Amino acid sequence: PLQALIFDVDGTLADTERDGHRIAFNAAFEEAGMAWHWDAALYGELLAVTGGKERMRFYAEKHDPAFLQQADADDRIKALHASKTRHYLALVGRGGIPLQPGVARLMREARAAGLRLAIATTTTPENVTSLLKASLAPDAESWFEVIGAGDVVPKKKPAPDIYTWVLEKMNLPAGACLAFEDSANGLRASLAADLPTLVTESEYTLDHDFTGAFAVLSDLGEPDRPCAVRRGDMHG
Ligand code: XBP
Ligand code: MG
């Protein structure tokens, strides 16, 4: 029987990328006096790599290889990422990023039904807790038994590690859980951890390959705003 729901964050709980993380990265680049600027289309390509530090490195390899030749390149990336996180937290703290349709409703109903809740994400832990607090409920962090985030595992999605880490902490088999994801990288991670996975689309993932998901929905829907079923048969 189903015992727990495990949620991805970026793109699944809220559309945090284009008007959240991307804006924060650009603010950090500007603050550091750098010429890097990620427009919305370029950012879509950079999302191929999960994790902010990893994403900056991926960008530099392609667009500014000299940056990586500096002796202190690693420290610079760490400092840029810390600055990016500060900007992101400020943006989220202002209530700047609303949850996707149906997310808050599902979480409240799942809690009421006695299901256990967890998070499995590649983003920084503070980013998760501040989004939950600002956009879900002031005490929402306590709704989640385990929050697996960021560098707690060295290999980020599409590796299954963050999901297996969460499952171990919860002492649950994958078959007793349902994962919620929005991207191909996230789905590869959850499926590799043997988790049945429901996909809801997000703005950057409309053309992703969601093979293996048990259903693909536009979003989780609200009573007055039903979701669209892209693939799968929810009544089957
Ligand atoms: C989300 C990410 C994250 C954020 C940036 O992927 O890739 O890296 O874009 O977060 P997923 P940090 O939804 O699959 O978890 O800068 O805090 O790393
Ligand atoms: Mg995601």
pTM value?
A: 0.96
pLDDT tens digits along 137-181: 999 999 999 999 999 999 999 999 999 999 999 999 999 999 999
The residue whose C-alpha atom lies closest to atom 16 belonging to ligand 1 is 52
Alpha carbons 105 and 223: distance in angstroms, whole number:
10
**Confidence tier at 236 by pLDDT (50, 70, 90):** very low
Alpha carbons 213 and 55: distance in angstroms, whole number:
26
The residue whose C-alpha atom lies closest to atom 13 belonging to ligand 1 is 10
20 lines ligand 1 (CB under 6 A): no
102 lines ligand 1 (CB under 6 A): no
Parallel, antiparallel, or unpaired: how do β-strands 215-217 and 197-200 relate?
parallel
Alpha carbons 145 and 230: distance in angstroms, whole number:
31
pLDDT tens digits along 2-18: 999 999 999 999 999 99
The residue with tokens 């390959």 is 209
ipTM computed for the complex: 0.92
What is the edge-to-edge ordering of all strands in the sheet holding 215-217?
A: 146-148, 116-120, 4-7, 177-181, 197-200, 215-217, 229-231
Assess contact for 209 and 216: CB atoms under 8 A.
no
Share of the chain residues as helix, strand and coil, in percent rounded to the nearest 5: 45, 15, 40
**Confidence tier at 232 by pLDDT (50, 70, 90):** confident
pLDDT tens digits along 110-145: 999 999 999 999 999 999 999 999 999 999 999 999
Separation of CA 224 and ligand 1 centre (Å): 31
Strand, coil or helix: 11 = coil
**Nearest 5 degrees, angle CA 14-CA 134-CA 25?**
60
Catalogue the active-site residues.
8, 10
Domains recognised in the chain with CATH numbers: 4-14+98-231 (3.40.50.1000), 17-93 (1.10.150.240)
188 lines ligand 1 (CB under 6 A): no
Distance from first CA to last CA of the chain, Å, rounded?
A: 17
